[in-house]
């Protein structure tokens, strides 16, 4: 009876870990952000980006306070995937061709799912353990936390910028990107920097998907 009570209290304490509390706040911020996305783009962008920044903060807290948990990892990943997916769906309705964003959404979900699945299948402690990979870009991405952070931030910043630049619900994607680059302003510099990081992350997603698929074939 006492052991059962201890296990129950231990399970409850996991839900109250600092990084998990930050995760709950992220969920609330995203709910408010998407509820206001069309009525107030600025508030949406601020809330969405702050929620994204908190993704890094909760990871730091998990390591700092030794509060790493499977629940926290799943909460973090699901929050990331859903928030990005919602923004990509919105962009698919604003820009032509919308299929580009739908394809990016499918690639993002498929690559991350295969990555997590094969990690558990092989028995690795972390999905970021790519020591056995032969691809230099894959190893550079997961082997350098700063580089990975740059690529992830670039994706989200690019998507937010595209959302802010859309004036109608029938924008041509290439026209908007080219026009923003030709402005020769801070915004154009930000778009170029974000595009490079975004391209690297999509390449990693493709590599990740193909490598994880091969791993699944080897380990049925």
What amino acid positions are annotated as catalytic residues? 80
Axis crossing angle, helix 145-165 with helix 136-143, rounded to the nearest 10: 90
Residue with tokens 């990555």: 115
**190 closest CA partner among 161, 148, 150, 152:** 161
DSSP helix/strand/coil, 35 = helix
Q: Can you read off the two tokens belonging to residue 29? A: 């911020």
Residue with tokens 């698929």: 213
CA distance 192 to 184: 11
Is the bond leading into 217 cis (omega within 30 degrees of zero)?
no
Q: Can you read off the two tokens belonging to residue 74? A: 């799943």
């Amino acid at each position: 009876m006492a052991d059962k009570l201890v296990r129950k209290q231990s399970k409850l304490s996991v839900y109250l870990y600092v990084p998990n509390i930050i995760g709950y706040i992220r969920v609330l911020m995203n709910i408010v952000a998407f509820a206001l996305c069309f009525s107030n783009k600025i508030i949406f962008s601020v809330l969405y980006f702050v929620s994204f920044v908190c993704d890094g903060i909760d990871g730091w807290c998990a390591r700092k306070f030794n509060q790493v948990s499977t629940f926290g990892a799943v909460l973090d990943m699901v929050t990331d995937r859903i928030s990005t997916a919602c923004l990509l769906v919105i962009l698919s309705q604003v820009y032509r061709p919308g299929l580009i964003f739908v394809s990016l959404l499918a690639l993002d979900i498929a690559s991350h799912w295969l990555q997590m699945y094969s990690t558990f299948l092989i028995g690795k402690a972390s999905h970021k353990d790519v020591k056995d990979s032969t691809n230099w870009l894959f190893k550079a991405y997961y082997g350098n936390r700063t580089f990975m952070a740059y690529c992830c931030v670039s994706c989200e910043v690019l998507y937010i910028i595209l959302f802010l630049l859309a004036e109608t619900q029938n924008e041509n994607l290439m026209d908007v990107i080219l026009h923003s680059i030709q402005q020769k302003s801070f915004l154009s510099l930000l778009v170029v920097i974000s595009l490079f990081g975004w391209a690297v992350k999509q390449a990693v997603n493709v590599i990740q998907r193909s490598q994880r698929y091969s791993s699944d074939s080897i380990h049925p």
